[in-house]
Structure 1
């Protein structure tokens, strides 16, 4: 079924393609080599790329032809830090008391559609409410709702009063004492139980808040919030269940502890110093910068009433620093994967991150690799995601112009295919 959405033709819950489809591209970005090739044809069978052919050979009888000869094709983009079940607004703090589980799930489905429409065919979701993104991941996989391929952490893990404690700033008579099931841990035993609960719930990855954060109603945006033994318990338990650990971290001390303990990725990394950068290089720790969120909260901190006063103060201090940290980390050689923190910043604006990365000194080719090949490597999916090549998932988008010359063209995606299904076409 086709419906009109924002000027695009949007395909809702169409069965996966089972015959051959020949996608004729005016040009094609080779993200591995960082170059734009001339006319190519991508042959799709079922959910995978069967062949990539130079030029536009004659389409065989019985095959479907998709004409993108006026466009540049490239692999579907990948965002390694999203929050599909929420979006920042002045009312967001009230929503915790007024929105039911069903409200959050349905809102998440809408944000998933918007994200896919923006050309992002794979995301990592690093924190939700009520395990909404587990259900959303499964619904997308079953073809019930349109959205990107989702790898989710479900509910983030925090310590009492930490950045992801869901009862921060609540009235004392309703605050209660949330525990591992709600993602709040104190001590080694609770750390292990919380990870095992996430495994039981169906999470793909573990997310911890190793330091304070910006949007929580708590004084510090950077203090360390886990002890070494708690971090070790989380990481070793997660490894037993085949899961990596992503660490939200702004402050240096909590970041240092998390890297030493063996987290897979550092998110935000605002006060990352040279010592931590070298530790990350030595250990192969990934960095997911989320410049978009930093820029967004810094802007909104100047809008009276958008954030509570305590949050606005932190946003004004921390938000503007992330882009500079990214520039230094990139220059130092830290491994970087693309991530926006959309949900803090608006869903659908994910591609703005490319402009911020290039503005900070990264080449367009490296920025695209961060959102394709390197994101796939972070996920452990290098053998099937992040490139248009034989045997890989048929995730393909098309834009006007050459993103290696101007990354801003990625803000206007004209065609989206995920797993061989066409979801968006002009």
Structure 2
């Protein structure tokens, strides 16, 4: 009996043979720069692309043929700024009554909405406790339907600033604090090390004030130059990039000079700040859908008076700042701030980017090749190429001619798994 049991155990642990899937596409966009190759067949095995060949004949030995002959097939999209663990609204007081674990439940819902919308990789740009890390593992192991998650975890903030807790009695603020607010270069370095220790893939800082926090002291620089330099130097020593929430021009400029890799939002970007970004290769993540999302809720009692005033303050410049960034030569990549608006609407960002001067090819590149480069994953994501992750989507129409067709993704494969 022992021998039979051992034999059964051995049999059950033998991995199943990898399935070869042949995707037959009416049009294949291998990447935004190279464009399409016309009809083609993509062979996938064990989550990787084995080949991309012109024509419509599936190769011999394919275990499954997926017929997308009436569709355009292209790389999965990347959103560099999401908050999967939250939904839109102004009920800041819920921080005091909802456990952090609830964020995993909300995040599981939103991860599914996001990947079904064609976004096969996201950068989670700030979340409570371990919630984003739990989601990251769940989607990686296939237990949760969702995209690949690059997770920041809790953001570093100044005490009482955007990203820290405010709006409650002092003793409640203290209890609810994430533990990642810091003062001075030494303490800020320690918080970066703690974030790395606890699982952060990237360090998120709130370099200026923000629109949706309850403190109303403007949108300019928060951290001192010494604090920001300490954060970026420490992150670099640990192999981590720093993404900086920043609205005010001087805060943007200071963050760029300190060595962050990306500026999130960038609302009041001016020429001096743009020059600092361009000279250092700092990428702008415009999050135009965030501005649209919060504007849609004005005057409905959703936000507190403090927040409403800040929303109205940024509304006009939010419609034009990316145009100026392009004119000044600032590199731009795709990010939406989903969670400020409803998850699953991420692709609405393409329409807004095009309204500010991008063409469809540039917009698609911003969410594929450019975004992959920001993540340091340009040899893994953003293209349909041999050895790359099998992150593939299908749409009707040609996104190189009209990127708004990406608002209606019809088929998704994420890491070799077809998303139902």
Q: Give distance in 2, aligned partners of 1:223 and 1:149.
A: 33
Q: Which residue of 2 aligns with 1:370?
A: 366
Per-residue Cα deviation, 1:318-373 (whole angstroms, up to 9, x for no partner): 13422311111122221111000001111100000000011111010000000000
Partner-residue secondary structure (3-state), 2:370: helix
Q: Which residue of 1 aligns with 2:285?
A: 288
**Structure 1 segment 294-313 matched on structure 2, within 5 A:** 294-301=291-298, 303-313=299-309
Q: Give distance in 1, aligned partners of 2:46 and 2:313.
A: 49
Q: Which residue of 2 aligns with 1:160?
A: 159
Q: TM-score, normalised by structure 2?
A: 0.93
Q: Which residue of 2 aligns with 1:269?
A: 266
Partner-residue secondary structure (3-state), 1:176: helix
Higher mean C-alpha deviation, range 203-212 or range 22-31: 22-31
Contact 1:295–1:320 under 8 Å retained in 2: no
Q: Give distance in 2, aligned partners of 1:394 and 1:304.
A: 43
Per-residue Cα deviation, 1:90-140 (whole angstroms, up to 9, x for no partner): 4x3132122112211111111111100100000001100122001110111
Contact 2:32–2:362 under 8 Å retained in 1: no
4+ aligned runs moved over 6 Å, structure 1: none
Q: Give distance in 2, aligned partners of 1:173 and 1:244.
A: 33
Q: Which residue of 2 aligns with 1:11?
A: none
Contact 1:34–1:366 under 8 Å retained in 2: no
Contact 1:59–1:65 under 8 Å retained in 2: no
Q: 1:44 to 1:332 in 2, by over 3 A?
A: same
**Structure 1 segment 219-368 matched on structure 2, within 5 A:** 219-301=216-298, 303-368=299-364
CA drift of 1:414 comes to: 0.8
Q: Give distance in 1, aligned partners of 2:318 and 2:40.
A: 38
CA drift of 1:163 comes to: 0.3
Contact 1:221–1:250 under 8 Å retained in 2: no
Q: Give distance in 2, aligned partners of 1:147 and 1:329.
A: 32
Q: Which residue of 2 aligns with 1:7?
A: none
State whether structure 2 residue 27 is matched by structure 1 residue 31: no
Q: 1:225 to 1:75 in 2, by over 3 A?
A: same
CA drift of 1:299 comes to: 2.7
- List runs of 5+ in structure 1 lacking aligned partners: 1-14
Partner-residue secondary structure (3-state), 2:139: helix
Q: TM-score, normalised by structure 1?
A: 0.92
Contact 2:23–2:68 under 8 Å retained in 1: yes
Per-residue Cα deviation, 1:171-218 (whole angstroms, up to 9, x for no partner): 133222777x62100111210111011011101000110100000001
Contact 1:298–1:319 under 8 Å retained in 2: yes
Q: Which residue of 1 aligns with 2:12?
A: none
**Structure 1 segment 25-424 matched on structure 2, within 5 A:** 25-33=25-33, 35-90=35-90, 92-166=91-165, 168-176=166-174, 182-301=179-298, 303-424=299-420
Q: Give distance in 2, aligned partners of 1:49 and 1:266.
A: 32
Q: 1:36 to 1:320 in 2, by over 3 A?
A: farther
CA drift of 1:62 comes to: 4.7
Partner-residue secondary structure (3-state), 2:325: helix
Q: 1:233 to 1:17 in 2, by over 3 A?
A: farther
Contact 2:95–2:176 under 8 Å retained in 1: no
Contact 2:70–2:396 under 8 Å retained in 1: yes
Q: Give distance in 2, aligned partners of 1:16 and 1:155.
A: 39
Count of matched residue pairs: 406
Per-residue Cα deviation, 1:232-282 (whole angstroms, up to 9, x for no partner): 111111111110001100011111111111111111001110111111111
Contact 1:297–1:319 under 8 Å retained in 2: no
